[in-house]
Structure 1
């Protein structure tokens, strides 16, 4: 679902997957004086509007949102369906119930529904090898365990690059690229046993939609029209950019300044992972069907058994940490205030959506708005606190002691299974596990039970063992972003290289990069620590270390970015230390730490000096570069870069360390 990385921020990437909240209080701070008698839910249109109108006015201003739809349903009826602000502020076109938005990843729930329809019809075996429904295509698989439709729909396929299969861009609006044409050239690889780990997965839902297409014999867009949209009376919904919908589509505004951008399509054209356009009017009908156990206007759209799978959590990090159903998600259960909630968020550049269902209360709400901010998370929290407030605060858990001996099984370097640039180290200090990464910094963890811990901010970390009792994954329910969207996997440390001594100051860096498959042996079991590298070899290692290549279509942009300002680049030429520093800084965009004095003593080219100073100021420096008390240092800028030096610079710049990074 991603394109060149310089055109899409990490925040947008996260929003395109799920609901990521920044407004969540620490668990211990969550309080409510409400009583059970106050839990009534939305029943009166005037009351809902009295609640929503000032809320949207305030939050839209806070998040610089020009326009939003908002629809609430309960007990099979639409309570409120209205718009706020402008679909197009330049033309003063207001948002109303018929304004069209790109609902992005909310589309995944429709794909799950279509797949379950085919399960109901006997055309797909939910727990059988999904390759049977891929028209002869094979999924490369390193595990020996076949992928099932159930794995795809619960985000547990084990695919290597869950965002590496589909590209977005304005140029794809008018193109028609079929899944038949696209998938054979872009098939992902299964690298973890299916069902073993949770990884939010766009590639998996694309494959699920393709399986629906083949099992039904109907092209995916036509299938959704005939089997879902028409039976539900969703006359303003489509997988494709139909002209009559484009005329009513809200403008796309991106970034904090709300820059107007053209809408973006995707390749392949029919995107089961996120290509549906819809309105508040249509989504009300869809939610009513969902809350009526698959029935709408006297028709069964999907069986009650299938709907149960869509509304019942299938994947858990811990018994109190539900993650996914078939198609839906349930992050931050604390915000549900004790209610059973399933939700799905979605984002395309300039459009965001959120659907929240409270099945046991027959209540749901949906909203779409025309920027890529976190407005939806605020509305969700306020909605639940207002209509379904928490009855009582949970008691603080009792924490268990943890000895250093017992802690050792958790130690290691972990990498997020979706966003490879998020790496975490877990060690031990003064009776506690210590978790460290660039996103959360250092966090001491307290043990609730041997597989469940809580950090200093009240966020839970759930570990998962393999069949031999060894720790293999953890799931971190932190609102700070990327760690939330997948399990993190413990990396296997390579055997010690025969030419890297145990006393080498580079050993840890070399082992880390080897475990992450960024740099490995040069020949046999030798790392060649003092050997040199070409510019091309360092570029390849740098791209792996940065980890952003996981986004489809991003690598070309990354290569252009890292080369900026460097004269006479030649992939086959040996790389100097100053060229390596500039390449790293081009991607990191770091500022020198104001409180750290640095003074470069040796000669470096003018185009490299600022990059060298910024990295050294941040502590991104190899062990053989010594910084004196007065901040002076010799970088050996024009010397050739040694492989061990490259390992240190790359590990420090893109590893787990919570350096004092401050971005421009």
Structure 2
């Protein structure tokens, strides 16, 4: 139906890569996965072919969560079985396990619709009811179920594929599914096939969490103890709740022992090498979506008492080392996501940061120019410089009052200033219009939930393209102005600053995929 590009010759994507999130695909912003209109739902092959993200990493090197990779695996199931994924799940899992209140069908069948929990969002007037979420990438999260049915599924997993007299997996296949398949680095938990390890308190725990916009769930199992737990909620507050429940259960029934700390002198020697900014690798790098969602970036700073402060926007937490390059909250309580691990390359340089129990969510260390702080400063300085071009028309008015005719003003000076000034004003106009569009809830929602890109967004992206073309002319005009000394020194410096700001702003636009139509 379609072919995956051979971006890395000799390194094809395999099913094992798809099931461990190591295929190397780019990501897409989550809201574009959802819809409110049933007519938006397409056959899986059609949707994947139309929206396929590029391969940006060689397969098998690093795990980054990919809903698209999961759906490609489901499409392969359709090809091999000759059934739709929905029918396959129903016949091979739902029916054998008697999960009678479970479906992947969208919209919900009438027999289940009346029992469906309502999703809520908290607003200024309290909790607001939401419509049923339709998920274009159905295999990645469209299952509607109950806790009782999920208990049956967990029993089958804990019994290696068997539930009563039925079997959904052979024992060997079940063991393979639950066995470690890919571990990013020492100290970071492993991904199995479709599930992953979340070891805590000395226990091997396997499972999977899941989120839609309104619902937040967690399933985890302790095979050795034959224990399975499932929790789900219907509002944003449930996201921390499931993790708190996970931790509270383990604290009560399997209390952890304090871990010994390494000597402070050794920690003090290592910590300076850990400072810097780390950015989540679960984000879009190739389309305009990169701009619409702020990048998730942690800043690590050392403290005088030998600890690290991890900062994210208004959040900050102090961590202390429990073993080399592995940290835990300073209060000693191990969070549900496990320890925090810094990973070094072969030369000993720290390149990545992990929450140990989220092996599919790496943070890469980024240079200064890729940080949000730096790009924000570049944008602000450029806009200030662009505003200064309004001095030029004021100067022109003064010249007219002094009875200087246009023909008395060198054509070069007029052309140069019209070129750079128009580019600067277009950049200001673009930022203004984009900000206004971002504040229009309906337009943003249409972009996030609609198959087609809103026309106003397509049109506004014409502006920076025109400005970039004008900048290409402004650059040689700047050089010519210095060579032939067409202006006073102050005027030449100002014109140069405007040109430099235009070039810098083009870099900023390209960084966030706002130059051109990158949808």
TM range (shorter): 0.5 to 0.7
Q: Is the counterpart of residue 258 in structure 1 residue 152 in structure 2?
A: no
| TM superposition shift of 1:299 | 3.2
SS of match in other structure, 2:60? coil
Task: Name the CA shift for 1:440/1:151 in 2 (closer, same or farther; >3 Å).
Answer: farther
**How far, CA to CA, are the matches of 1:456 and 1:144 in structure 2?**
46
- Deviation sequence 1:83-116 (CA, Å, 0-9, x none): xxxxxxxxxxxxxxxxxxxxxxxxxxxxxxxxxx
Query: Does the 8 Å contact 1:433/1:445 carry over to 2?
Result: yes
Query: Does the 8 Å contact 2:40/2:450 carry over to 1?
Result: no
Which residue does 1:123 correspond to in 2?
A: none
Q: Is the counterpart of residue 365 in structure 1 residue 229 in structure 2?
A: yes
Query: Does the 8 Å contact 1:465/1:472 carry over to 2?
Result: yes
**How far, CA to CA, are the matches of 1:164 and 1:142 in structure 2?**
26
SS of match in other structure, 1:554? helix
Residue in structure 2 matching 1:642, options 483, 489, 501: 501
Which residue does 2:366 correspond to in 1?
A: 491
Q: Is the counterpart of residue 220 in structure 1 residue 220 in structure 2?
A: no
**How far, CA to CA, are the matches of 1:574 and 1:297 in structure 2?**
68
Q: CA RMSD in A?
A: 4.7
Q: Is the counterpart of residue 554 in structure 1 residue 448 in structure 2?
A: yes
Query: Does the 8 Å contact 1:253/1:350 carry over to 2?
Result: yes
The within-5 A match list for 1:126-525 is: 135-139=1-5, 141=7, 145-161=11-27, 163=29, 167-172=33-38, 176-240=41-105, 241-255=108-122, 257-268=126-137, 271-316=138-183, 319-322=186-189, 324-331=191-198, 333-334=199-200, 337-374=201-238, 375-386=241-252, 388-390=253-255, 392-399=257-264, 401=266, 410=274, 412-419=276-283, 421-426=295-300, 437-439=311-313, 446-448=320-322, 450-454=324-328, 456=330, 460-476=339-355, 486-491=361-366, 509=374
Query: Does the 8 Å contact 2:64/2:360 carry over to 1?
Result: yes
Task: Name the CA shift for 1:509/1:353 in 2 (closer, same or farther; >3 Å).
Answer: closer
Task: Name the CA shift for 1:324/1:260 in 2 (closer, same or farther; >3 Å).
Answer: same
Which protein has the larger Cα radius of gyration, Structure 1 or Structure 2? Answer: 2
SS of match in other structure, 1:159? coil
Query: Does the 8 Å contact 2:378/2:508 carry over to 1?
Result: no
| TM superposition shift of 1:468 | 5.0
**How far, CA to CA, are the matches of 1:644 and 1:442 in structure 2?**
35
**How far, CA to CA, are the matches of 2:9 and 2:327 in structure 1?**
30
Q: Which runs of 5 or more structure 2 residues have no equivalent in the other structure?
A: 285-294, 380-419, 437-444, 469-497, 510-519
The structure with higher relative contact order (CA 8 Å, sep 6+) is 1
| TM superposition shift of 1:398 | 4.1
Task: Name the CA shift for 1:432/1:484 in 2 (closer, same or farther; >3 Å).
Answer: farther
**How far, CA to CA, are the matches of 2:176 and 2:258 in structure 1?**
29
**How far, CA to CA, are the matches of 2:9 and 2:345 in structure 1?**
15
**How far, CA to CA, are the matches of 1:148 and 1:539 in structure 2?**
46
Query: Does the 8 Å contact 2:33/2:136 carry over to 1?
Result: yes
**How far, CA to CA, are the matches of 1:370 and 1:438 in structure 2?**
26
Query: Does the 8 Å contact 1:536/1:571 carry over to 2?
Result: no
SS of match in other structure, 1:258? strand
Query: Does the 8 Å contact 1:400/1:449 carry over to 2?
Result: no
**How far, CA to CA, are the matches of 2:435 and 2:176 in structure 1?**
43
Q: Which runs of 5 or more structure 1 residues have no equivalent in the other structure?
A: 1-134, 496-505, 515-527, 544-550, 564-568, 576-638, 651-664
SS of match in other structure, 1:354? strand
Greater helix share, structure number: 2
| TM superposition shift of 1:289 | 0.6
Query: Does the 8 Å contact 1:291/1:362 carry over to 2?
Result: yes
| TM superposition shift of 1:415 | 2.0
SS of match in other structure, 1:255? strand
| TM superposition shift of 1:413 | 4.1
Question: Structure 2 length normalisation: TM-score?
Answer: 0.63
Task: Name the CA shift for 1:184/1:397 in 2 (closer, same or farther; >3 Å).
Answer: same
| TM superposition shift of 1:444 | 6.6
| TM superposition shift of 1:191 | 1.3
Task: Name the CA shift for 1:187/1:457 in 2 (closer, same or farther; >3 Å).
Answer: farther
Task: Name the CA shift for 1:164/1:238 in 2 (closer, same or farther; >3 Å).
Answer: same
Task: Name the CA shift for 1:228/1:261 in 2 (closer, same or farther; >3 Å).
Answer: same
**How far, CA to CA, are the matches of 1:283 and 1:330 in structure 2?**
19
Task: Name the CA shift for 1:364/1:453 in 2 (closer, same or farther; >3 Å).
Answer: closer
Matched length: 402
SS of match in other structure, 1:189? coil
Query: Does the 8 Å contact 1:510/1:648 carry over to 2?
Result: no
- Deviation sequence 1:320-353 (CA, Å, 0-9, x none): 442533222344x44xx33322232223344333
Query: Does the 8 Å contact 2:178/2:193 carry over to 1?
Result: yes
